[in-house]
Amino acid sequence: MTIKARLLLIVVGGIFLLFGASFYSNQQLKEANAGYNADASLTSYTSAWFGSLDGSYVNNLEVYDPTDGSFANIDYWDFEKDPYTGEDTNPLHAAFRIGNAQSVSNFLDEVFLDAIDNETITFVTAYGVNGQRYYCNSSLYLVGVDPCSEDASPDYMDEFDELISAVGRGSTRRISLIADASGELPVSVNDTMVFGLAMPADDASGESQDASGESQTVGVIILGANIVDGLEMFAENFEVETAIALQDDVITVYDYYEEELPEGLGGLIESDLSASRDEGYTYSTIVPELKHRVTSIPFSRETRASEVRLLIFDNQTELIEALEQSSFQNQLSFALVGGAILLVVFFITTVSFNRINSSILALEKIERGELEKTDENNYKLFTSDNDEVSRLQRSIEEYREHRIEAEDQRQERARRRDERDSIMFEKMSVLSQQLEGNARDMLVQEIMDMRDKLSSGNDEDKEQASIEMMSRAFSKMSEEVSTLIDARTQELVVARDEISSSIRYAAKLQKTLLPKSFPGDIDIEVEWRPRDLVGGDIYFIKDFPDKVYIAVVDCTGHGVPGAFLSIIARSHLDKAIREDGDQTAGEYLSEVNALLRATLSRADQSNTSEEGFDGGVCIYRREYRSLEFAGAKASLFNVDGQEASEVGGDRKSVGSSRIPDGFQYSTHYVSSPSGAFVMLTDGITDVMSPDERPVAFGRRRVLRILRDSKNATPSNIVKEIISSVDLYRGNAPLRDDLTLLAFSLEDPTPATENIAISGESKG
């Protein structure tokens, strides 16, 4: 059962329950109302009827009461007064006592004839205490049996003794029923007053004077008034129909006049049978089917309802119809409202559940991956943008958008993946073409397998396949690359070996340019260390009979270019020597400079590099034992005993474009050369400490080593400086080639002077 059906069922059930409750309470209200109306009817009809009955009794019968009656009548019944003669004995009593019916008749006619003629009294009878009737007179217009007729059977005669004893205590009022013994006429119902005539007992007995003074009843007079007139008047006044219910009979005024009962009255009278059975003899009830109210009350104050009752039938058509109308309207309006509610609920639930259903369908479509928007049923009635279903629809719409976005992203991913895959295929294909034989076939087969995998299956499988392919392609390619690298490395190793063997050969050649022998009279120690196998540093010793040239040169650059330049420099150092004449060291260096600049075409400025060299030259003249020095950015160090000194050269590199034309290097003379002399390239002084901000070894350290040297022979000096430099640089690389040359002039007559240095420019 759907929620909608359940909801509708609950609503229908609720409406029916409400209807039942309303119906029940309506019934209760109606019953309470009827009960209240019944009580009101009973009270009002009883008092009205009794009032009418009593009024008639007081006016017509009670005026003859011996004690309560009118003054005019009281005297008729006084034993000690004769109403006509004024004697002190009433003849009526005596007439009763002696049974003189004629006298009684005469007397009573005198009293009642007018009233009977006027029909204020229906009948009057008088009896003696023995039950003998002395008088009876009745109206001409009575209904029912004549009370004075032979067939009359009045009920009071059935209990005459009780009547006699009752009248001794005063007059009594009673309803008397007089039946027709012949059964032809209906019982007549009469309001009656009964009173007795009494006289002293002694007078009554007529012989002994009894001292008791008790009075004795001598006769009974009964006055009756038929209630038919009163009943008619009552019916007329209240616009009702009436009936008299006896123990076994019901009489209406129509019976008395022998008329037909009006329509419906018979049915009403019959309805009393069942009503009185249910509710007792005093009741008031609505008989809806007959559209009347039936009220049953005791006929008078003196009668019991079980014996004689008055039935009053009043027409309640309007009331009943109004009630039925209202009840009908009530039910109708209930049905209408209930129906309307049901309809509205049905409509709302239908709309809501249709919308929910369409939301569910939309959601199911999204779940199936159908993301395009479908037509929504656009209910406007009973919906709002903020109700639950609208919110649900909005959420679903957002969800759909998210899914569309995700789908777009997925497609974008797939597209990129495809691009990536195709690039991968291309590369792999290219790779496969570079391979041969089995390797090629295997790779081609692998590519085809991958293609198959990538072109089938769902997104996730494809993604998986793509990743797998990527990793396989990657490993394949990296295999190939490492193979390639191995091959290249092999080539490089070969090339490097070739180059280094060339360079080793070049180094051999370069070494042949270095002096092979030293002059016998000069102790020379050299440390020549190119940074690479070959270098720009070179030292040069040219021995002539009279003089010796010693040069230490640092060509710009190092390695192979430095080596090339060193060959040029070597050749110019050779060429610039003038064997004859007094070429000074300065002149010599200036000549080398000139040659070198010519060679390197320093004139034109197109060569922007600064090829050339730094270096120093010493010339030792054996004849004079003199030593002269010229330097281009180089110094000559001398150590003699504990003294160390430095002779600086000019600060101009040989071959430099910065040298002005006609520049001459100065010649420095060492007048009495003694001790050891040291020449070096800046490879020594530029050895750097292995610091973050390194400091060069510097010339000052060289001087300090010389000064501190205990045994300043050339070989010792070279050893000390080189070990100091190596210690200084630690593991820092050499920046440059380095050359260190130390020499001492062997002196047959040891020097007595310290070295004196004088500088003289020959420029």
Closest approach of other proteins to the CB of residue 415, in Å: 41
Of 368-407, which residues contact other proteins (CB under 8 A)? Answer: none
Collect all residues with Cβ–Cβ distance below 8 Å to 528 and sequence separation of at least 6: 514, 537, 539, 739
Query: What is the C-alpha separation between 284 and 184, in angstroms, rounded?
Result: 32
Closest approach of other proteins to the CB of residue 425, in Å: 41
Q: Which alpha helices (DSSP H) does 138-294 contain, by range?
A: 160-167, 201-205, 228-238, 253-257, 265-279
Residue from 12, 735, 751, 754 in contact with other proteins (CB under 8 A): 735
Angle at 320 between CA 317 and CA 324, to 5 degrees: 135
Residue from 391, 413, 504, 651 in contact with other proteins (CB under 8 A): 651
**Residue 682 sits in the site that holds other proteins (CB under 8 A):** yes
Report the residue number, 320 or 617, with the smaller CB distance to other proteins: 617
Report the residue number, 338 or 612, with the smaller CB distance to other proteins: 612
Residue from 13, 20, 168, 694 in contact with other proteins (CB under 8 A): 694
Residue 684 in contact with residue 725, Cβ under 8 Å?
yes
Q: Retrieve residue 116's tokens.
A: 């009977």
Query: What is the C-alpha separation between 615 and 540, in angstroms, rounded?
Result: 11
Q: Retrieve residue 721's tokens.
A: 């400086």
Report the residue number, 168 or 694, with the smaller CB distance to other proteins: 694
- Which region, judged by CB under 8 A, interacts with other proteins, from 125-133, 361-369, 696-704, 746-754? 696-704
Does residue 437 sit in helix, strand or coil? helix
Per-position DSSP letters for 103-128, written without gaps between them: HHHHHHHHHHHHHHHTTSSSEEEEEE
**Residue 496 sits in the site that holds other proteins (CB under 8 A):** no
Query: What is the C-alpha separation between 614 and 658, in angstroms, rounded?
Result: 13
Of 239-278, which residues contact other proteins (CB under 8 A)? Answer: none
Q: How far is the CA of 19 from the CAs of 7, 178, 327, 483, 569, in angstroms? A: 18, 57, 12, 97, 132
Of 498-557, which residues contact other proteins (CB under 8 A)? Answer: 554, 556-557
Of 587-626, which residues contact other proteins (CB under 8 A)? Answer: 608-610, 612, 614
Closest approach of other proteins to the CB of residue 439, in Å: 41
Taking Cα atoms as reference points, which of 71, 114, 70, 303 lies closest to residue 191?
A: 303
Closest approach of other proteins to the CB of residue 721, in Å: 16
Radius of gyration in angstroms for the set of CA atoms belonging to the chain, rounded to a whole number? 84
Report the residue number, 554 or 640, with the smaller CB distance to other proteins: 554
Taking Cα atoms as reference points, which of 264, 250, 320, 255 lies closest to residue 291?
A: 320
Closest approach of other proteins to the CB of residue 700, in Å: 5
Query: What is the C-alpha separation between 313 and 241, in angstroms, rounded?
Result: 5
Query: What is the C-alpha separation between 534 and 509, in angstroms, rounded?
Result: 9
Residue from 700, 747, 753, 761 in contact with other proteins (CB under 8 A): 700
Closest approach of other proteins to the CB of residue 738, in Å: 12
Counting residues that bind other proteins (by CB under 8 A) gives 26
Residue from 169, 380, 516, 693 in contact with other proteins (CB under 8 A): 693
Kind plus residue range of the DSSP H or E element containing 13: helix 3-60
Closest approach of other proteins to the CB of residue 613, in Å: 8
Taking Cα atoms as reference points, which of 257, 314, 310 lies closest to residue 291?
A: 314
Residue from 89, 282, 327, 689 in contact with other proteins (CB under 8 A): 689
Report the residue number, 386 or 608, with the smaller CB distance to other proteins: 608
Q: Retrieve residue 289's tokens.
A: 């089917």
Q: How many CA atoms lie within 13 A of 146 on its CB side?
A: 9
Closest approach of other proteins to the CB of residue 679, in Å: 17
Q: Retrieve residue 703's tokens.
A: 């001087």
Q: How many CA atoms lie within 13 A of 135 on its CB side?
A: 28
Report the residue number, 466 or 556, with the smaller CB distance to other proteins: 556
Residue 584 in contact with residue 623, Cβ under 8 Å?
no
Report the residue number, 288 or 698, with the smaller CB distance to other proteins: 698
Does residue 217 sit in helix, strand or coil? strand
Taking Cα atoms as reference points, which of 375, 367, 424, 417 lies closest to residue 396?
A: 367
Residue from 171, 192, 466, 685 in contact with other proteins (CB under 8 A): 685
**Residue 699 sits in the site that holds other proteins (CB under 8 A):** yes
Report the residue number, 355 or 701, with the smaller CB distance to other proteins: 701
Closest approach of other proteins to the CB of residue 562, in Å: 10
> Which amino acid is present at 589?
L
Closest approach of other proteins to the CB of residue 744, in Å: 26
Query: What is the C-alpha separation between 152 and 175, in angstroms, rounded?
Result: 16
Residue from 397, 446, 480, 686 in contact with other proteins (CB under 8 A): 686
Q: Would strands 283-287 and 215-226 be described as parallel, antiparallel, or unpaired?
A: unpaired
Report the residue number, 223 or 573, with the smaller CB distance to other proteins: 573
Closest approach of other proteins to the CB of residue 728, in Å: 12
Closest approach of other proteins to the CB of residue 671, in Å: 27
Residue 630 in contact with residue 589, Cβ under 8 Å?
yes
Q: x/- contact string, 114-143, with other proteins (CB under 8 A)?
A: ------------------------------
Report the residue number, 301 or 651, with the smaller CB distance to other proteins: 651
The alpha carbon dihedral of 24, 29, 32, 37 has a sign of negative
Q: For residue 499, how far is the Cα from the chain centroid?
A: 80
Closest approach of other proteins to the CB of residue 696, in Å: 4
Q: Retrieve residue 726's tokens.
A: 């190596």
Report the residue number, 208 or 731, with the smaller CB distance to other proteins: 731
Report the residue number, 451 or 707, with the smaller CB distance to other proteins: 707
Report the residue number, 163 or 734, with the smaller CB distance to other proteins: 734
What residues line the site for other proteins (CB under 8 A)? 554, 556-557, 608-610, 612, 614, 651, 653, 658, 682, 685-686, 688-689, 691, 693-696, 698-700, 735-736
